[in-house]
């Protein structure tokens, strides 16, 4: 629904390969969503390189409100977002629309203001943290996901420690993390202070250990809760179903195939790093 990017982060090739931001018309998206819902689709994901910069009438918040009125369309997600475009209208939509799932992928990339400036990210660590606070105040059950790059040119130990501190303050339910790699033609590829690969490896391992710990803790915290699960397909084992929670976690239960395509309450019994295990509530079994 949205392609291209105007942000020009210094590590990224998207503005050069995909061009500037452009957005599909609202009515085109709504027509496609209505058609999908009529065919039994219960969940859609709005995609874009910088999806919350969607420029159709009403922006992404307005589009979400229109999509939420489509009968049978019970879940709306979007990815990927930029903190600079997370406006008050979109935050309010999260508070007001139960169809907007409480799982937000909001990349920060680093916790050091020096590195964020060198990345041309247009936000600081503090502004990002305050934004997360505002989002959580509006939607207390929301879970955060993020993206991180370690070993960006000029990143010193103190800069990396600032990233670890930001991760501790936010507490992520999921994340993608990467070693910085040079992309030909990007400004960062010519910056001084390129970080040695062995340093990147060590920093990535430390970051991943913290992120994995947080993800495990978040999943474990779901034990004992009843979550609405959209079943998508049979599981790996006979008689098993696999679906997704509102937080995008994979959920596995024993149940009949007739529940595929339905949203069903599941009592969560256990959570691991990658998935949840549960049982169907008695009235739906």
Rounded distance, CA 62 to CA 133, Å? Answer: 23
Q: Quick one: pLDDT at residue 282?
A: 64
Q: Kindly indicate whether the domain formed by 226-284 is annotated with CATH number 2.40.50.140.
A: yes
pLDDT value at residue 284: 44
Predicted confidence pLDDT, tens digits, the chain (285 residues)? 898 999 999 999 999 998 989 999 999 999 999 999 999 999 999 999 999 999 999 999 999 999 999 999 999 999 999 999 999 999 999 999 999 999 999 999 999 999 999 999 999 999 999 999 999 999 999 999 999 999 999 999 999 999 999 999 999 999 999 999 999 999 999 999 999 999 999 999 999 999 999 999 999 999 999 999 999 999 889 999 999 999 999 999 999 999 999 999 999 999 998 999 999 986 444
Phi, psi (degrees; rounded to nearest 5) at 270: -160, 155
pLDDT at residue 281, rounded to an integer: 87
Peptide bond into 238 cis (omega under 30): no
Q: What is the pTM of this model?
A: 0.94
Q: How many CA atoms lie within 13 A of 148 on its CB side?
A: 32
| Burial degree of 69 (CB within 10 A; 0-12, 13-18, 19+) | exposed
Cβ contacts of 268 within 8 Å, gap of 6 or more: 222, 223, 224, 225, 226, 227, 251, 276, 277, 278
Strand-strand pairing, 275-280 and 263-271: antiparallel
CATH level 3 topology of 2-220: pyruvate-formate lyase- activating enzyme (3.80.30)
Hey, where are the domains in the chain? 2-220, 226-284
């Amino acid at each position: 629904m949205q392609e291209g990017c105007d942000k020009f982060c210094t590590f990224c090739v998207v503005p050069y390969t995909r061009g500037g931001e452009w957005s599909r018309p609202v009515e085109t998206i709504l027509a496609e969503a209505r058609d999908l819902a009529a065919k039994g689709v219960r969940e859609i994901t709005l995609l874009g390189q910088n999806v919350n910069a969607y420029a159709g009438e009403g922006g992404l918040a307005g589009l979400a409100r229109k999509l939420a009125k489509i009968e049978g369309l019970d879940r709306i997600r979007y990815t990927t977002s930029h903190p600079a475009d997370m406006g008050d209208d979109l935050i309010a939509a999260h508070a007001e629309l139960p169809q907007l799932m409480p799982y937000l992928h909001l990349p920060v990339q680093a916790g050091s203001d020096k590195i964020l400036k060198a990345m041309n990210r247009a936000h600081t660590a503090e502004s990002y943290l305050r934004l997360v606070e505002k989002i959580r105040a509006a939607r207390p059950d929301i879970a955060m996901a993020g993206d991180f790059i370690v070993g960006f040119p000029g990143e010193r130990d103190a800069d990396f420690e600032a990233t670890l501190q930001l991760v501790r303050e936010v507490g992520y339910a999921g994340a993608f993390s990467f070693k910085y790699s040079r992309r030909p033609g990007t400004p960062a590829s010519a910056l001084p202070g390129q970080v040695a690969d062995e340093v990147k490896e060590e920093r990535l391992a430390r970051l991943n250990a913290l992120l994995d710990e947080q993800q495990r803790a978040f999943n474990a915290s779901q034990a004992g809760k009843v979550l609405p699960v959209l079943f998508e397909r049979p599981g790996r084992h006979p008689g098993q179903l696999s679906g997704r929670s509102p937080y995008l976690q994979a959920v596995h239960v024993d149940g009949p195939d007739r529940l595929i395509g339905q949203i069903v309450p599941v009592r969560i019994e256990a959570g691991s790093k990658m998935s949840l295990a549960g049982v169907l509530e008695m009235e739906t079994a």
